[in-house]
Amino acid sequence: MQKLIDTVSSYYATGIQPQAKLFKVPSGQYRDRVVIIYPKTANQLVYVWADPPYQSWSDPQNLVTDSADYPCSAYMDANGNVYLVYTQQTTLALLELKMSFSSGSWSVGTVYTVYNAGENYSPSITKDSTDRLWISWTYYDSVTERYFVRVKSSTDDGATWGSGPSDPGTALTNGSASCYSQLLFQSPYIHCFYSDDSTLLAYRSFELSGSVWSSQQTVYSGSGIDDDFHADLSSDQKVGIVFPGSSSLLYKEFDGTNWSGVFTVEEGLPASPTIKFFDTRPFVFFAKNIGTGQNEIFYSYKEGTAFVTPASFEKGQKSFERVFCYDDSATEKYADLTTEASDSTPADVYHPTSNSLIKDAGDAFYMGMDRKFNLSKIVLATAGITGQVSWQYWNGESWTNFTPNSGAYHLDSLDKTVILWEDLYSAPSDWQPCPVNGVSKFWVRVLVTTGFTTPPVGTQITAVPEAKYLNVIR
């Protein structure tokens, strides 16, 4: 169930796809405790945690206050320790710290410098089976005006990286207009997957018993490949990677020796693709745009030789299962506009008698689901003028007025995300399903209390927020 963790003012709240900020303690007394690392402001990184069933979360705990407003990343080891790497605010140096886990608490350690020259962005961090830490990141060379993927390692738990802060590490690419990277350990190799110049998805590998990185191996050549790829490792040590093709979301798999062919996950190019293996089965999560400011989260998984048809992930954040328009003066009072409300066809959400969504006092529209929901995304072709509405839910006996958590909205602006309640845990406990026009759902009714001089006409009404930058754990 959806839970609001915090409201932040940073640009990248949950980061980019090759990075990680959401973790679960893997073993011991505090097994399954979840911790989230995120930027609360442009310069402050914090963490929160919760135990099952994840309804009650800690207050934000400070990590650092000198972070630049760029994505950070982290890694959790088998003991629940977390290693965080981020870009420093003023110098754009790359910094790292350890959050040591003991007796159910994380203690924040010393901040160490990974690299102290130039501009350093978009890091990825992991650990191999010898407890050596690895960091890859994007380095910008202001002289050549090119971006490079660089990598360094630490054998003393993050205190020293390479030969020290001035050591630039190893450049894995030759410089281009853009690049992003993700590290993944597939014994006995550290793989660095990266996009380069938006046209190439490739990787280089480092064998733990060796001393140099392998030559570049191509995963896919195409266009538009930036920070929208993600890789994961299965329980049987297969690498899966999801990435955009020219017109669809694609997947490939690597068993340590051979790469599979290309699988299509979704036609079209959704945002924020993320892969997680559940044992040996790859699940792919992504955010698909269905209209203005609406990215619906979907998932698919590989069944045999293909991925199944994607399904909506959050059942309370999708197109409404029913949308009714009610005209109190019409002969046919109810109009079923479910199909019209679900798509972005302009100006097609209206009652056929009034040619408006709602107009006079007593008119209403209803948004319904089989389960509770907490927002309504309303896109209008024509905004209402002078009218007033009341937002209501059914309490089991009568319609109850409420003011949305995001504030009053009288359909007087063309594009509005109405947050009904803070999150689903905050939805009214007495909200009950009831029949409307013969259909039983959890309904929210928007009732006209003062008529409109210019009535609103709808384009799209859904329960879909603008989801992006997905983080997934299993």
Ordered by where they begin, the domains of the chain are: 22-227 (2.120.10.10), 322-462 (2.60.120)
**Averaged over 183-205, what is the pLDDT?**
98
Residue 474: predicted pLDDT:
83
Which residue is listed with tokens 């093709």? 245
pLDDT band at 13 (very low <50, low <70, confident <90, very high): confident
The encoded tokens of residue 252 equal: 């490939």
The encoded tokens of residue 312 equal: 């909506």
Give the Cα separation of 139 and 148 in Å (integer). Answer: 5
**Averaged over 268-280, what is the pLDDT?**
94
Cα radius of gyration rounded to whole Å, the chain: 25
pLDDT band at 1 (very low <50, low <70, confident <90, very high): low
pLDDT band at 15 (very low <50, low <70, confident <90, very high): confident
* 341 backbone dihedrals φ, ψ, rounded to 5°: -70, -25
Give the Cα separation of 67 and 71 in Å (integer). Answer: 9
Give the Cα separation of 452 and 429 in Å (integer). Answer: 33
Residue 234: predicted pLDDT:
96
Which residue is listed with tokens 């010393």? 110
Least Cα distance to 389 among 451, 341, 336 occurs for 451
- Predicted confidence (pLDDT) at residue 391 exceeds the cutoff of 70: yes
Q: Which residues have CB under 8 Å from 157's CB, separation 6+? A: 98, 131, 133
Burial of 177 (0-12, 13-18, 19+ CB in 10 A): exposed
**Averaged over 35-56, what is the pLDDT?**
96
Q: Which residues have CB under 8 Å from 258's CB, separation 6+? A: none
- Predicted confidence (pLDDT) at residue 61 exceeds the cutoff of 70: yes
Q: Which residues have CB under 8 Å from 351's CB, separation 6+? A: 325, 326, 327, 330, 335, 357, 358, 359, 363
CB 130: neighbour CB atoms within 10 A?
A: 9
The encoded tokens of residue 398 equal: 């009568």
Least Cα distance to 136 among 197, 64, 202, 191 occurs for 191
3-state secondary structure of 398: coil
- Predicted confidence (pLDDT) at residue 362 exceeds the cutoff of 80: yes
Strand-pair category, 73-76 with 82-87: antiparallel
Give the Cα separation of 165 and 135 in Å (integer). Answer: 13
Residue 193: predicted pLDDT:
98
Helix, strand, coil fractions of the chain, as percent rounded to 5: 0, 50, 50
Burial of 442 (0-12, 13-18, 19+ CB in 10 A): buried
pLDDT band at 2 (very low <50, low <70, confident <90, very high): confident
Task: Decide: pTM greater than 0.85.
Answer: yes
For residue 29, the cross-strand partners are none
Q: What is the pLDDT of residues 148-175, one digit of tens each?
A: 999 999 999 999 999 999 999 999 999 9
Dihedral sign (CA 299, 304, 309, 314): negative
Q: What percentage of the chain exceeds 70 in pLDDT? A: 100
The encoded tokens of residue 349 equal: 């959400």
Give DSSP secondary structure letters for 256-285: SS-B---EEEEES--EEEEEEEETTEEEEE
Give the Cα separation of 67 and 12 in Å (integer). Answer: 12
Q: What is the pLDDT of residues 80-110, one digit of tens each?
A: 999 999 999 999 999 999 999 999 999 999 9
Residue 250: predicted pLDDT:
98
